[in-house]
Structure formats: C-alpha cells, structure tokens
Amino acid sequence: MAVHGVFLSLALCLLPGHQTLAKNEAPCQLSKWNNGFNVFMKRHISSKTPTSLDKNEWERYIRNNGGCNRPTQSFLHPNDLESVKAVCTGAGGKTYKENLCISQKPFSFVTVRSEQGTCGIRSVREETKHLILACEVLDNRCLPVHFEGNPENLKPDNNARGCQDPQMRGHAPSFKTTWPQFLFFLIIIYYVL
C-alpha cells in the first residue's frame, strides 16, 4: 500500500511540472503562457524603436527597455503588426515544426547583436527574411508568442499545412497524451485496481 502512495505522489508531482514547462507540439494550440503575446510585442514590435541603424540609438533603446541580457534581438516595424499576426493563420503562414509557423512572404526587420550583459552593440543591420514564429491560442485567437531566428534564410514549404486559427479549422481539436499524463493514468488505474 505504501508503494502505491509513493507512485501516486510521484505521478502528481510530474504531471503539473510537465504541463507548465512544455511547449505545444503544433501551432495554434491553447497557450500555457497567458502573457506570451504581450511579451512578444514588447520585445519585437514597438513604436519606440529607433528608425535608423545607428548603434548609439539602439544601445540607448536596449538599455532603457531592459534588453541587455539578450545578445541577439530582432525588431519588426509597428506598421507590419497585422501582417505579423497573420503568420499565425492559414492566409499568412505555413506550419514549420512544433509550434512554429513560417511566413508565406518575407518581412524586413532590424537585428541587433550585442555583448550579453553589457548592452555594447556589435552590429545593427536590416534583414529581409521569412519570419519563423511560435503561434499559440490566447483569447480564442492564434497569436505569435516567440520570434525564432532564421539564420539559414529558410522559406516555407508550399506543401506544408497552413497555420490555422482554431476558429477557422473546421475540425475537432486533437487530444494527445504526453508520457507523464499516460504514466499518471496508468498509476491511477493500478492504484484503484
């Protein structure tokens, strides 16, 4: 009987921990991080970003906005907000991998590289690439929550499924069980029987 209690306690500890730290297996699933879109906006789309490629302006901006701990940062133009959000839909993005979507069209953005922790700017350059974004559902809408680098300048696979807002899907959501959930259910069944 004591062994059953140990297994039950272990399962209960593993299950919540896994759910909190896990990222979604596919785009446009319910987000486990309620503030993801707001953080994405703060980090990547701001009307306060410099309009030039001047290193001193970017250093001031990054220093004043708490980005010194991130050695590579990319900033999109605020006028592109609706197009950026559209990457998380079938009209604007294709499924890439895991919870990532890749834009069907390229975007121009500024990438700033700095010395981590010092805010010392190594380079500021404008790039034009397809965006790779993590897309998750918040407030019943699939939105970007993370900007993934695209160092190999990847393009979308035309045969890939489009990223889909759950309201546009037309099919029931899939329910996949993770290994801790499966283990939890097995232990409960064993304990009950």
pLDDT single digits (tens) 16-43: 333 334 578 899 999 988 899 999 999 9
Q: Does residue 60 sit in helix, strand or coil?
A: helix
125 burial level (CB within 10 Å; 0-12, 13-18, 19+): exposed
Q: How far is CA 149 from the centre of its chain?
A: 11
Identify the CA nearest to 124 among candidates 64, 75, 193.
75
Tokens coding 19: 């759910």
Please, what sign has the CA dihedral across residues 103, 107, 112, 113?
A: positive
Report the distance separating Cα 142 and Cα 32, nearest Å: 13
| CB-based burial, 84-98: b 16+ in 10 Å, e otherwise | bbbbbbbebbbbbee
What pLDDT was estimated at residue 106?
Answer: 98
Structural domains in the chain, CATH included, are 26-167 (3.10.130.10)
Dihedral pair phi/psi, residue 62, rounded to 5°: -65, -40
Give residues with Cβ within 8 angstroms of 89, minimum separation 6: 142, 162, 163, 164, 165, 168
Angstrom CA distances, 9 to 3, 64, 182, stand at: 10, 46, 15
Which DSSP category does 170 fall into?
Answer: -
Residue-wise pLDDT for 72-128, tens only, equals 999 999 999 999 999 999 999 999 999 999 999 999 999 999 988 788 999 999 999
Neighbours of 77 (CB within 10 A): 16
In percent, how much of the chain has pLDDT > 70? 74
What pLDDT was estimated at residue 178?
Answer: 54
Q: Reduce the secondary structure of 101-120 to three states and give it as a string.
A: EEEEEEEEEEEEEECCCCCC
Confidence of residue 7 (pLDDT cuts 50, 70, 90): very low
